[in-house]
Amino acid sequence: MSWRGIDGGIAAAQADHDVVMTPTSNTYFDYYQSANRDSEPLAIGGFLPLDTVYNYEPVPPVLDSLQARHILGTQGQIWTEYQRNPRNVEYMVFPRLVALAEVAWTPRDQKNFADFTRRLATHFARLAVLDVNYRPLKP
């Protein structure tokens, strides 16, 4: 697990070890989703907007093709010491988890944030049916 940036993950992959890339810069869902912290649930700190999650590339370009095979994927983190209840956890995770899923499954050259945000309407409808407390897109 490469939590504190990507350098540890790069070093591990270059040493032929398998890695899950989980850097705080792109995968920590206990960070605020908005720069306006007063409008968001209490978080541990930091700011991680949806586009930053979506634009993450778990396979660093410095790795050659053999080393890149050691990047098993990515993972989102949510530490809950600031979350008062499961509804707050849901709000902190969604829709960023949807973005990270697409990061993990979609080749770099096929990702398109504008198209992703358009398609989020379908995900929001699904989440609403499931009574998941997600953060709606806000200007």
Structurally, the chain folds into a number of domains equal to 1
136 in any annotated domain: no
- Domain annotation covers residue 104: yes
CATH of the domain at 76: 3.20.20.80
Residue 34: per-residue pLDDT: 92
- What residues contact 131, with CB distance under 8 A and at least 6 apart? none
pLDDT single digits (tens) 61-76: 999 999 999 999 999 9
Does 2 reside within a domain?
A: no
Evaluate if pTM is beyond 0.95: no
> Which residues, 6 or more positions from 125, have their beta carbon under 8 angstroms from its beta carbon?
none
β-strands 19-21, 71-74: how paired? parallel
3-state secondary structure of 79: coil
pLDDT band at 139 (very low <50, low <70, confident <90, very high): low
User: Is residue 80 included in any domain, yes or no?
Assistant: yes
Distances (CA, A) of 20 to 3, 8, 56, 92: 9, 10, 13, 21
**39 is a domain residue:** yes
Give the domain extent around 35: 7-129
CA-CA distance, 64 to 81, in Å (whole number)? 39
Domain assignment present for residue 61? The answer is: yes
Residue 139 lies in a domain: no
